[in-house]
A and B are shown apart, each in its own frame.
Chain A
Amino acid sequence: MSMPGEPETAAVREAVSAVFGVGVEIARDPWKLAGGTMHDMWAVDIARGGERIELVVRTSPRVRDDLTVARREFETMSESRRRGVIAPAVHGVGATSSGEPYLVVGRVQGETSPRPLLRDPELAEARRRILPQLAASLVTIHSIRPADLDVALDSPAPGEEPLLAQLRGLTLKYDEDRLERHAVIEWALRWVRRQVQASPARASEPVLVHGDFRVGNIMYDRDGLVAVLDWEGAHAGDPLEDLAWFCVRVWRFGQDRLEAGGLAQREDWLRAYEEASGREVDRPRFALWEILCNIRWAVITLNQVKAHIDGTVRSQELAAIGRRTGETELEILRLVQQYKDGH
């Protein structure tokens, strides 16, 4: 049993003091929330000038010194929220005296679990409302230019098409992570590159891209969207990437006929974005992005099974994910066929 003031919560208290001042009054001691594999998530309440502030403090004991990523999250979340994206309030970022990065955000009430959102009858209204809310969030995120931010973003090389930059990075990851060679992935990487080279996109300046925008990374309640979460992958790129990642088959959580996150048809999703942005979505380009995003997920499954096999994280769950590469390869082949049929 962990008591207040013990080392486990020391980082949380230090973060809160650094952000709100040394004399800040803790109204409710920190308690642990379900977190990710790299981070610990803590809830804590403070009192300031008669006002109670409910917080989430994320500490990252396993990614010490990776303050750059936390700062980038802070900046991208702050600027997005300032422009109207529904995201948690961001209070502070930094590192503790022992070098543990932390991020302090406002605590919001809601659910993130995908399956109820996609299925529960009492969430029908939330499902109806959330699609335009998500589209509007993306349009606002995509209105931010890298120069608007105080941090550097990972960006395509000058003049490089974002899709090719992403493809280059994925090829490197694939070469690093594969335990055996995958003909579907190697062929698809080559095929997408050849399509892009045959018809380069109109030049456009890279914008802020969320990078992991999907069901599971959004918080909802009965009224719809409560918060856009998980900004660690934010980078500069093409808006189509966020639209396409949202449609990757694995993020439909079994509602496969509704390509947009198990919530709506792909075409309804693209129309919602067009309505919110007033700009037309380039359908063939989007199709290439969706194929590339599925390749990205396939490569992530290779990375996860490798983490098990090489002993980084022994886990039967990670091992089992290795057998899910095939269904993603099948999706890639189906999407390529659809693309060819449409040409």
Chain B
Amino acid sequence: MQDRPTADELLEAIEEFLRDRSKKEPDRLLRFQFLVASNSLAILRREWENEEQALEAEWAGLGALLGTAGRPGSLRALRQAVLERNSLLCQRIGEGAFDGEAAEARLLAHLLEATENKVRIATPAALQ
């Protein structure tokens, strides 16, 4: 067990530092670079908080479209498995498996949910 600060608190500290620099920096291009860096840290904080939940939902959605499979135990294995099932989903899309109206509706519902979960972590402002 690590001592305080927690990983989240440590990231938050760096994020605040970079955001502050982005406001005070006189050079326009550097100001932008600091802002991008602080935004990236904010993404990481949201990802560590919500990734597992989002992957669970995506795994379930992929199972409903492609047939269920055993959920891998670790987070790392789940991440890899979702990546592989997404490839399989793309392959099925290319074969025309979702061209019919009903299949297309089911696919779109899944894609919308998975994309919204992705955006909730990466750029939540885009959800409004």
CA distance A324 to B119 in the complex (A): 8
Instruction: Tell yes or no: A316 within 8 A of B by CB.
Output: yes
Please choose the segment from A80-88, A186-194, A216-224, A235-243 that sits at the chain B interface, where 4 or more of its residues have CB less than 8 A away. A186-194
Task: Report whether B93 and A186 are in contact in the complex, using a CB–CB cutoff of 8 Å.
Answer: yes
Task: Report whether B40 and A320 are in contact in the complex, using a CB–CB cutoff of 8 Å.
Answer: yes
Task: Report whether B115 and A187 are in contact in the complex, using a CB–CB cutoff of 8 Å.
Answer: no
Task: Report whether A190 and B122 are in contact in the complex, using a CB–CB cutoff of 8 Å.
Answer: no
Known: A181-B87, A333-B115. A317 touches B94 (CB 8 A): no
CA distance A186 to B91 in the complex (A): 9
Please choose the segment from B3-11, B68-76, B104-112 that sits at the chain A interface, where 4 or more of its residues have CB less than 8 A away. B104-112
CA distance A190 to B111 in the complex (A): 15
We find that the number of chain B residues with CB closer than 8 angstroms to chain A is 29
CA distance A184 to B58 in the complex (A): 14
Task: Report whether B33 and A323 are in contact in the complex, using a CB–CB cutoff of 8 Å.
Answer: no
- Mask: chain B, 92-128; 1 = CB below 8 Å from A; 0 = not: 0110001100000001100110111011001100110
Task: Report whether A183 and B40 are in contact in the complex, using a CB–CB cutoff of 8 Å.
Answer: no
Checking B86, B90, B115, B122 against A323 with a beta-carbon cut-off of 8 angstroms, the contacting residue is B122
Whole-angstrom distance between the Cβ of A197 and the nearest chain B Cβ: 12
Instruction: Tell yes or no: A284 within 8 A of B by CB.
Output: no
Known: A186-B90, A186-B93, A194-B99. A323 touches B36 (CB 8 A): no
Known: A187-B98, A333-B115. A320 touches B107 (CB 8 A): no
Task: Report whether A316 and B115 are in contact in the complex, using a CB–CB cutoff of 8 Å.
Answer: no
Tell me the dominant secondary structure on chain B's binding face.
helix
**Shortest Cβ distance from B47 into A: residue:** A323
Chain B residues contacting A336 (CB-CB under 8 Å) are 108
Instruction: Tell yes or no: A51 within 8 A of B by CB.
Output: no
CA distance A184 to B73 in the complex (A): 27
Interface residues of A in 322-342 (CB under 8 A from B): 323-324, 326-327, 329-331, 333, 336-337
CA distance A181 to B84 in the complex (A): 9
Instruction: Tell yes or no: A310 within 8 A of B by CB.
Output: no
Whole-angstrom distance between the Cβ of A93 and the nearest chain B Cβ: 29
Checking A194, A317, A329 against B36 with a beta-carbon cut-off of 8 angstroms, the contacting residue is A317
11 A/B residue pairs, CB under 8 Å, sorted by A: A184-B111, A187-B107, A187-B111, A316-B40, A319-B40, A323-B43, A326-B118, A326-B122, A327-B119, A329-B111, A333-B111
